[in-house]
């Protein structure tokens, strides 16, 4: 049985999607903790409703980022997880933290990386006039929104899209993409070779990309 810790900053919708997939698909894994970086994170209530243990390491209580990350590491390591999942976790993590968890730290970003790293991805996609937008699951690297790409979901950009409508479709794609990628990790089917991710033993219908069909 693999153990998972989820880090959140907000409402935790990807955490909920992951928890529901674990329940419905009966993977050999369990979420052993949900840690928020602020006590107001709405995802803490949602975690409690799902019966998941939640806790807070409030970034505002630390004068320096390294002090916050040290406390966060202690909270994570006390749970001894096999995998740490960033689910809307809005803190930039320093190199020592990333190196400590290298190979077992996953993130989801709302763009088709390497396009549009950082914030305001949907606005920037619309301003750039791209025809396709989406989301990316990747192993976390030292640079922001960098690291080997595990899987991506593509979403068409419509002529009448605004930030809100595009964001909603991307989020729906994220809720399919992230559980898929996490399951591959849990099953031991992901390998990183030469900076690229390889999916081992692909099964019928499996691919490292999704075309979003949610209306």
CA dist., res. 210 & res. 174, Å (int) = 10
Strands 132-139 and 149-156, by their bridges, are: antiparallel
Among residues 67, 70, 109, 175, the one annotated as catalytic is: 109
163-186 helix and 13-25 helix, angle to the nearest 10 degrees: 40
Q: Provide DSSP, the chain.
A: -EEEEEEESS--HHHHHHHHHHHHHT-SEEEEEEEESSTT-THHHHHHHTT--EEE--GGG-SSHHHHHHHHHHHHHTT--SEEEESS--PPPPHHHHHHTTTSEEEEESS-TTSS-SS-HHHHHHHHT-SEEEEEEEE--SSTT-S-EEEEEEEEPPTT--HHHHHHHHHHHHHHHHHHHHHHHHTT-EEEETTEEEESSPPTT--SEEE----
| Catalytic site includes residue 70 | no
Which residues participate in catalysis according to the annotation? 109
């Amino acid at each position: 049985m693999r153990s998972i810790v989820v880090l959140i900053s907000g409402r935790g919708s990807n955490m909920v999607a992951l928890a529901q997939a674990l329940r419905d698909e009966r993977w050999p894994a369990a979420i052993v903790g949900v840690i928020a970086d602020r006590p107001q994170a709405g995802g803490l209530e949602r975690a409690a409703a799902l019966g998941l243990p939640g806790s807070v390491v409030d970034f505002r209580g630390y004068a320096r980022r390294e002090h916050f990350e040290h406390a966060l590491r202690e909270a994570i390591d006390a749970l001894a997880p096999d995998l740490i999942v960033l689910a809307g976790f809005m803190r930039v993590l320093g190199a020592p933290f990333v190196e400590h968890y290298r190979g077992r730290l996953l993130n989801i970003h709302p763009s088709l990386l390497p396009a549009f790293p950082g914030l305001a991805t949907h606005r920037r996609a619309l301003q750039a006039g791209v025809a396709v937008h989406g989301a990316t699951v990747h192993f976390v690297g030292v640079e922001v929104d960098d690291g080997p790409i595990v899987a991506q979901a593509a979403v068409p950009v419509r002529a009448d899209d605004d930030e809100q409508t595009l964001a909603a479709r991307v989020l729906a794609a994220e809720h399919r993409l992230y559980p898929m990628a996490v399951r591959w990790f849990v099953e031991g089917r992901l390998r990183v070779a030469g900076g690229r991710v390889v999916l081992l033993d692909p099964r019928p219908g499996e691919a490292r990309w999704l075309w979003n069909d949610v209306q």
